[in-house]
Structure 1
């Protein structure tokens, strides 16, 4: 990400641009006057952080080694001024004036850095305040300043011969609160070159209070510039901005090691984009994938419950929710988060926060993304989505990450429900029903006892293979775990197998739920699932499973149940549930809701 320029190169470009203006007898007119400026105020920046990013872009490209956001106060705890300070190579005196004219930037249509239209500094500034002042000096020059004041423009103070003209730059040092900050940091006397942009008359910042504004900028700038903060450190109101990867994959970044949970990376992809006519590579897209564990957003004390509540969530959740979708970066700087097209993938804001995709594209591909004037929104065209689908396989990745999350969440739910001191609801219900059965219980024949012992040994051996422990140790552990348990519900991951099975393992009858089957992911743990619903499904499966296990091992009755469960019920259920996902139930659910409300009213 070579987005910076040397001082000599940057200043040469400025001088060339100033000569172009002078040769063209530029009138220093602010385009179309007051209405234009008021329109620029409403250009629509997402936040104060995104507006400020326009200025930070300039600082990074000016080869700044340090950037500071400093608050100034007239009284109380609400900032009255905000200064963005950098130690880059600065601006030539006339360029200080030009920097506040829309479209007069030297980095318009820049494909090596962040520049796009040359609107950034004035547009971003007036979106947050009434007056912006720019102070800058080069290594061999003095401080010069120019300003843009929308109130003065409105009052026609800048009008000359019917046109609005930008005032000339003047010699002046930055305001006192900026100089004091640099002196306290022991940097004022050694400040060779750089630029200070000061926002005054703040009226549109996201937060007015110092603490909230500082916290918001620290969080958002840490995400936007995560790939640049090592080379160009930043501070906000004296606090260091920590880089934050919203995929939570980068070791050392904020919230990476908040607790023992870690994000899981899938294989990344680098995709070449070629010109349709020449076949030449015109840019690249770099794609990263991240899957998050089911307990990733929970505080430690809430990781072992099925209903943690919003108050038990950790700070990662705020980052994930703000970046829920496909994250797009331009030259390593975050621009936007976009939901996948509905024609390619449906989106669930709750469960889809457990995966993340980042696409970092070269600025040479701008035409494919329809970058907005404020550089805070992208609209990928169809070719981009097609490339990501065919060459980066993002839809397959999304499917795999969703499936992994569903299994992870299901396993966690089952483990949590099994870990309580009280008996599982379905076990209590089926054991109570056993007391009232009208058919005789099966006798413990030698064949049945051998089957139960073989099943127990197979289960212990399977656990031993998974854990790497010796089978005899696992058998002892399993016997201790199941002591006193006549019935138990467990999960297993068996792609292609039946949606459930019920077996007698020693003295315990076990109901296995297959987390790889759509029954588990779409119904048992699907939308709207709750403990009572799951207990009801378990009772139903216990009923079917008991009928199978109670039949003699070699009987036609046992064979019937085994074949129906494995080859008929499971296959039919898979096909039906996959079809059900495609049916729009919103109208039906609305009608049912209205019926329920009417019934409730009648009952009352």
Structure 2
């Protein structure tokens, strides 16, 4: 086809394309750095070092960011292609982390005005280098990737027998200009994205500091923080890659975890933020062992609440399902297709709602326990002034304690158990219509309040939920009144006396319920 004189009708207006591509959608510096780490892992690197330093050049953008790996390195042709947009030799290859050959140039120029690559394939072999520069491309001075040239062996390659070093200079779009702040944010972000590789032995460092694996589910003991428990069994759902062609399919695996409300809810706000508990609710989407997105996915109509901070979900899939998940070339977000949402969202939403309810109930139990503590402490303190409880426990006590299960902490042991009785108040549904029950054990006295009794709903719970000092004092007095009644009954030893006391307590509870019910 004949070219029009004086006009440029090339498919890509290079000067404008190179500036526009800088805004191609990387969410953060971490997302862009992750692309370079993907390339290193694709080259079978086992050691990757990220460094952020101040370069020798002065100006508004003096920071340098480099990623050095001990991978297989590249020859001249591969290096030149790697710096081309879409120039990968592995285009559309789903066996690794990349597919499109856009990662190196696209991520680099989204953060810096110049990217320089050094690569070598043996200890004594040549070091090849080439580059891309925004200003040179925009001015028309650079219209193709420069042919690689031999360079002196840089000191930053750390003696690796083979590898690649990517350096960003004139970094004008990094998330932060302070090296310490940028490093602090990169550490947990990369630790979460590449957690599976770190668990499998990858050495990843940022300015010499090891990146610790971050498990958003808090399940893996080899993570920065752990302590959650898996909720239910892992789900495995087969999904077609394309709804119009059901022959190609893959398996989506879904796991849920439940965070320990009882112990972690007592952490301070700063510690909760550090661990990623506060405002950390969401679903981690993992492609081929690498996290590609994190957010509020596949939950349909369920709105996000504070209680959702106390559970997590992980969805993992193989690259064969890239189209179903809507994976883009930046590998940092998903746009799931309707048939995928239809296949997996109902199960995810159902589990999310169940976990939300469990978290709500667990927080209520913690709140209740905290508000019982003052009454428990006062009764424990005053116990030495009261007639001693008989040693041991009776069959009726065993029945009550057995029904409580893990709700109740173990009895005190050692010297403390010999000196005084420890009092506990527990809100637990009773099979009987009683308002309260009790059990005595060696070193422990337990009062069980029935939340299904009208007295609890009408009078006690409003006092329990209230925050004013007067209402807290009144509820504490009710606690002590019930403890006194239960402890007095616990002093009885004769079977006939016990039966009479239990009959009176039952009759009192039933009469009270009748009077309080509408």
Report the TM-score, using the length of structure 1 for normalisation. 0.64
Residues 101/560 of structure 1: CA separation in 2 closer, same or farther (3 Å cut): same
**Equivalent residue in structure 2 for 1:48, among 23, 29, 32:** 29
1:365-403 alpha-carbon deviations (Å, 9 max, x no partner): 11111112311010223332333246xx33332233223
1:375 match: secondary structure = coil
Residues 418/145 of structure 1: CA separation in 2 closer, same or farther (3 Å cut): same
User: What is the CA-CA distance between 1:53 and the residue it aligns to?
Assistant: 0.8
1:225 and 2:209 are equivalent in the alignment: no
Partner of 2:129: 145
User: What is the CA-CA distance between 1:295 and the residue it aligns to?
Assistant: 5.0
Partner of 2:314: 358
Partner of 2:490: none
Partner of 1:207: 176
Partner of 2:435: 501
1:287 match: secondary structure = strand
Partner of 2:156: 181
1:365 match: secondary structure = helix
1:171 and 2:153 are equivalent in the alignment: no
Where do 1:302-313 residues align within 5 Å? 303=266, 310-311=269-270, 313=272
1:127 match: secondary structure = helix
Equivalents in 1 of 2:303, 2:359: separation in Å?
16
**Equivalent residue in structure 1 for 2:47, among 44, 66, 86:** 66
Equivalents in 2 of 1:558, 1:420: separation in Å?
25
Equivalents in 2 of 1:233, 1:75: separation in Å?
28
Matched-pair contact (CA < 8 Å) for 2:193–2:290: yes
Partner of 1:88: 71
User: What is the CA-CA distance between 1:537 and the residue it aligns to?
Assistant: 13
Give the number of equivalent residue pairs: 461
2:167 match: secondary structure = strand
Where do 1:338-417 residues align within 5 Å? 338-340=295-297, 343-348=300-305, 350-389=306-345, 393-417=347-371
User: What is the CA-CA distance between 1:422 and the residue it aligns to?
Assistant: 9.6
1:58-115 alpha-carbon deviations (Å, 9 max, x no partner): 1111111211112343369997211111122222202212212211112332211112
Partner of 1:316: 275
Residues 422/114 of structure 1: CA separation in 2 closer, same or farther (3 Å cut): same
User: What is the CA-CA distance between 1:501 and the residue it aligns to?
Assistant: 3.5
Matched-pair contact (CA < 8 Å) for 1:45–1:376: yes
Matched-pair contact (CA < 8 Å) for 1:234–1:241: yes
1:328-372 alpha-carbon deviations (Å, 9 max, x no partner): 011110011131456442211x22111000001111011111112
1:119 and 2:102 are equivalent in the alignment: yes
Residues 309/60 of structure 1: CA separation in 2 closer, same or farther (3 Å cut): closer
User: What is the CA-CA distance between 1:169 and the residue it aligns to?
Assistant: 1.9
Equivalents in 2 of 1:537, 1:132: separation in Å?
68
Report the TM-score, using the length of structure 2 for normalisation. 0.74
Matched-pair contact (CA < 8 Å) for 1:407–1:515: no
Q: Which runs of 5+ in 2 are unaligned?
A: 1-9, 379-393, 487-502
Residues 224/48 of structure 1: CA separation in 2 closer, same or farther (3 Å cut): same
Partner of 2:493: none
Matched-pair contact (CA < 8 Å) for 2:401–2:439: no
1:192-246 alpha-carbon deviations (Å, 9 max, x no partner): x221111000111122222222222221111100111234321111121111111
Matched-pair contact (CA < 8 Å) for 2:397–2:438: no
Matched-pair contact (CA < 8 Å) for 1:321–1:353: yes
Residues 30/170 of structure 1: CA separation in 2 closer, same or farther (3 Å cut): farther
Equivalents in 2 of 1:250, 1:50: separation in Å?
24
Matched-pair contact (CA < 8 Å) for 2:84–2:145: no
1:288 and 2:255 are equivalent in the alignment: yes
1:420 match: secondary structure = helix
Partner of 2:492: none
Matched-pair contact (CA < 8 Å) for 2:74–2:120: yes
1:227 match: secondary structure = helix
Matched-pair contact (CA < 8 Å) for 1:323–1:337: no
**Equivalent residue in structure 1 for 2:428, among 488, 492, 496:** 492
1:198 and 2:136 are equivalent in the alignment: no
Residues 52/515 of structure 1: CA separation in 2 closer, same or farther (3 Å cut): farther
